[in-house]
C-alpha cells in the first residue's frame, strides 16, 4: 500500500544523502529544515520510505503571492518511475492550497525538467549551474 504522510526533517536525511548529495560536497541538511512552517513529506510503499520532499516558506521576487519552495525531492533508485514523485507533489499541492499558498517553486536539476513539466511546473529564467550541475528555476501555480 502506498501512503503519503508528513515526516520529520531527520527522516529525509538518508535519501538526501544517498540520492542528492552522494559524492557532492554539500550538506544534506537545509536552512529552514526545522522551521515551524516547513513541511516534510514522505511516500511509503508498505513501510519503506521511497520518496521525500521538503516544502519551505521562501519567496522569490519573480512570483507575487504566497509561496513555498520545494527542496530536496528525491526518490530511491529502486523506486523511480513508479509514480511516487507525482503522488508526493499531488499531496503537497493540496496541503499548500489549504494553507492559502499561491505558488510552489523549485530549483530543478536539468535531468528532472520533464518530470516537473508533467506535473504542471513551468520554467522561469535561464539555466544556471551550481555544484550539483545545471538547473532551472521552475514554478507551479496552485
pLDDT at residue 17 tops 90: no
**Of residues 4, 49, 52, the one with CA closest to residue 30:** 52
pTM tops 0.75, yes or no: yes
Output b/e per residue, 79-115; b: 16+ Cβ within 10 A: beeeebbebbbebbbebbeeeebebbbbebbeebbeb
Provide the β-strand partners of residue 36.
none
pLDDT at residue 137 tops 80: yes
Q: For position 25, what pLDDT does the model report?
A: 74
pLDDT at residue 1 tops 80: yes
Q: For position 131, what pLDDT does the model report?
A: 82
CA separation for the pair 38, 35 (Å, rounded): 5
Q: What is the mean pLDDT of the chain?
A: 94
Residue 25 burial (CB count, 10 A): 6
Overall average pLDDT of the 93-120 stretch:
96
pLDDT digits 0-9 by tens, 42-76:
999 999 999 999 999 999 999 999 999 999 999 99
Does residue 6 contact residue 12 with C-beta atoms inside 8 Å? Answer: no
Q: For position 19, what pLDDT does the model report?
A: 86
Between 20-24, 84-88, 112-116, the lowest mean confidence (pLDDT) is in 20-24
Overall average pLDDT of the 25-35 stretch:
86
Amino acid at each position: 500500500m502506498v501512503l503519503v504522510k508528513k515526516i520529520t526533517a531527520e527522516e529525509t536525511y538518508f535519501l538526501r544523502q544517498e540520492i542528492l548529495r552522494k559524492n557532492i560536497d554539500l550538506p544534506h541538511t537545509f536552512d529552514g529544515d526545522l522551521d515551524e512552517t516547513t513541511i516534510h513529506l514522505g511516500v511509503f510503499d508498505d513501510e519503506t520510505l521511497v520518496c521525500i520532499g521538503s516544502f519551505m516558506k521562501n519567496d522569490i521576487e519573480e512570483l507575487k503571492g504566497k509561496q513555498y519552495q520545494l527542496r530536496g525531492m528525491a526518490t530511491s533508485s529502486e523506486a523511480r518511475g513508479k509514480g511516487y514523485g507525482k503522488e508526493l507533489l499531488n499531496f503537497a499541492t493540496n496541503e499548500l492550497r489549504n494553507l492559502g499558498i499561491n505558488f510552489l517553486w523549485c530549483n530543478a536539476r536539468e535531468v528532472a525538467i520533464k518530470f516537473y513539466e508533467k506535473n504542471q511546473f513551468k520554467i522561469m529564467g535561464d539555466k544556471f549551474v551550481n555544484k550539483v550541475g545545471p538547473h532551472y528555476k521552475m514554478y507551479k501555480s496552485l
